[in-house]
Amino acid sequence: MSVGVIGSGKFGLTLSKIISENGNKVTIFTRRDNEAKSINSSMKSLSGFVFDSNNVRATCAPKDLDDCKHIFITTPSHDFSKVVEKFIFEGDERVLITCTKGLEDRTSRLMSEILLDDFKHDENKLVVLSGPNLASEILNKETTATVLASKSKSVLEEVNNFLKTDYFIPYYSNDTSGVELAGALKNIYAIVSGYFNGMNVGQNTMGFLLTKSLEEMRLYSQSRGANLSTFLGLAGVGDFFSTALSPDSRNHQFGNYLSKGFSVEESLQRVGDIVEGLRTSKIVYKDCKRKNLNLKILKFLNDVYSRKEDYEGAKKLLISDKFQSDVSKD
């Protein structure tokens, strides 16, 4: 079976490695000609990523993925539409698996919604992949689970066969929007977690913060019609805690740098890679204003970006003068 992977970032290369080692031919699309040449000549990426299978090749030509019946999309959310339009056309019957965790800036749409609305893709041939999937740990063959969400059980079985190993274990769901929302939102609150971690708060405070962060994720997702039970699974609680507490998470690192007084630009430079949660937090904050939805942790984070809030504000963030219910039902 021939499988396409759009994107040669760490996660795209990790998926390519798994799929190829399961006996499938993989074509990786990269925008860097020297990356393609390196992979094709030495089975090694420019970042030092080594493939053990000869089933992998790389290309800079979108047409080279035309024969692939399944395509994994790992491109960042800010480039999603611009990149995808080179490969996908209206009425395309291939199975598309979106692995991108983010929202479209102008419309707040999920990547799956873009594929359905703009490219008129068949929802039964659309899969969302998300979960607690730190690429570095997958490469070390740490036992890892992921979630595949689609309306079609047969398509889920096909994609499961590409990915399942003794260390990478997919689970399935039919809640595509809930799984995708959870993956996008957890990046926001991983920044907040990194910020508080940088302040050296105790475990009681972190438990408090993470729980209320999950509540904000739930409230926003509820406003968009997601299945709330999804947030109790791997795509929700699982992905959130692995990202929020991991020093390897770019979003966590970014928040940590912000807590040290570095600006947004300085913090991004120190992380040295894309921080999806930064962009997503601004998009969700604007959407919450339109919905008249008051999420105070999210507001605090956006105020940190503009330096309206700092360490002192963080200490007051979780304190309320009101005697409140533990779990909000709104």
**Residue bearing tokens 């790389």:** 58
3-state secondary structure of 310: coil
Distance CA 177, CA 175 (A): 6
**Residue bearing tokens 């990149």:** 83
Distance CA 17, CA 279 (A): 29
Sequence-distant (6+) residues with CB within 8 A of 319 are: none
Report the 3 state secondary structure along 47-113: CCCECCCCCEEEECCHHHHCCCCEEEECCCHHHHHHHHCCCCCCCCCCEEEECCCCECCCCCCEHHH
CA torsion sign, 297 to 251 to 238 to 121?
Answer: positive
Q: What is the largest CA-CA distance in the chain?
A: 65
Tokens at 60, concatenated: 């800079």
Query: What amino acid is encoded at 138 in this protein?
Result: I
Tokens at 330, concatenated: 């709104």
Q: Which residues are catalytic?
A: 186
Tell me phi and psi for residue 222, to 5 degrees: -60, -35
Q: Which of 215, 97, 212, 219 is CA-nearest to residue 146?
A: 97
Tokens at 241, concatenated: 């805690």
Distance CA 288, CA 135 (A): 31
The rounded Cα 213 to chain-centroid distance in angstroms is 17
